[in-house]
Amino acid sequence: MAANPSAVKGSLAGMLSAAAYGCSPALALALYGIGFDAANALFYRYFGALILILPLLLWKKDQILLPWKDLRALALPGICFALSTLTYFISFSYMNAGISATLMFLYPIFTAFIMVLVYHEKLSLSLILAIALSFAGVVMLHGAEEGGLSLVGVLLAGASAFTYALYIVGINRTHLLISNEKLTFYLILFSVGVTAIYMGISPTSAIKLPTPTALIFIALLALVPTIISLELMNVSIAAIGSTRTAILGALEPVTAVTLSVLLFAEPLSLSLAGGIALIVCGVILVLAGQRFKARRARVYIKRFNFIIRKSVRRRWRWKS
């Protein structure tokens, strides 16, 4: 039987998207190596991405401004998204970047747990087993780090996964119907704002002017794990759906660990490989068992001077 071209395209796009996103720890560490801290690296990453995505919105003739009510609805998910990336980047300073990426990959388990606690979805056997596997994976990761895992690093990576889960739940519970590019634009805008506020109140972080070398890494951060990854993800979601795309996201921590080992000589031990494998298996178990129902949102359309109310189906989005 011939392979479905759309499924092949979607799967390839999903794998490339995950691999591109997995490059962010290595690029961040490269900036740390030339004197940048997490806040500066993240601020310039998103500022550069903002410059790159704005022409795309103008080319597609997308209305950039959002109504105030839509902006308010996007505020909480947008802040959670920004906090997730900020805590993720800071965690690289406390532990192996590959381990941080693996712990951040726990976000689907946090998402499913929030759905159980807040929205009273049934606690499934797959979620219980996934939590057990992930806990065992964290225990193995603890043995992979010399002297054990940094508590601060674990808390930061865990906070990143949790706030990303809050973002996912929040964005899927809004009635916003906007293009993927516009959503990405506003998430980047929130990230620039939150990072700038953090730099303003943090006694250890101040704006640092980039050198020519730093500009190369900043451009790669803005392009590869941000714009390219998100655009490929949109292609993948359209072709094979959100859940399958999220499963392919298992390549994110694998890419992060591989680059950390190859570029920064971070050790690859049996404990590290085993811990990553257990966590990835736990997350895939959750993703494979989720069947989030598509919701219907009301849309008001002006046509021939009449206001028509339509009901459209919304797809569950694992990532943006």
DSSP string, 255-298: HHHHHHHHHH-----HHHHHHHHHHHHHHHHHHHH--PPPEEEE
- Whether residue 303 has pLDDT greater than 50: no
Residue identified by tokens 């726990």 is 106
What stretches of the chain show up as alpha helix (H) in DSSP?
5-21, 24-32, 38-59, 68-91, 97-104, 107-119, 125-144, 151-172, 180-201, 212-222, 229-240, 242-248, 251-264, 270-289
Tallying the residues shown for the chain, one arrives at: 320
- Whether residue 296 has pLDDT greater than 60: no
- Look at 292 and 262; give whichever has higher pLDDT: 262
Window from 94-103, 163-172, 221-230, 264-273 with minimum mean pLDDT: 264-273
Residue-range domain boundaries for the chain = 5-314
| pLDDT tens readout for residues 110-144 | 888 888 888 877 877 888 888 888 888 888 887 76
- The pair phi, psi for residue 180, each rounded to 5°, is -60, -40
pLDDT interval class at 158 (50, 70, 90)? very high
pLDDT interval class at 268 (50, 70, 90)? confident
| pLDDT tens readout for residues 220-267 | 999 999 888 888 887 887 787 766 777 777 788 888 888 888 887 777
Residue identified by tokens 């109504």 is 67
Residue 108 confidence (pLDDT) = 83
What three-state secondary structure class fits 90?
Answer: helix
| pLDDT tens readout for residues 82-91 | 999 999 999 9
- Whether residue 159 has pLDDT greater than 90: yes
- Whether residue 291 has pLDDT greater than 60: no
* Chain centroid offset of residue 121 CA: 24
State mean pLDDT over 86-111. Answer: 89
- Whether residue 28 has pLDDT greater than 90: yes
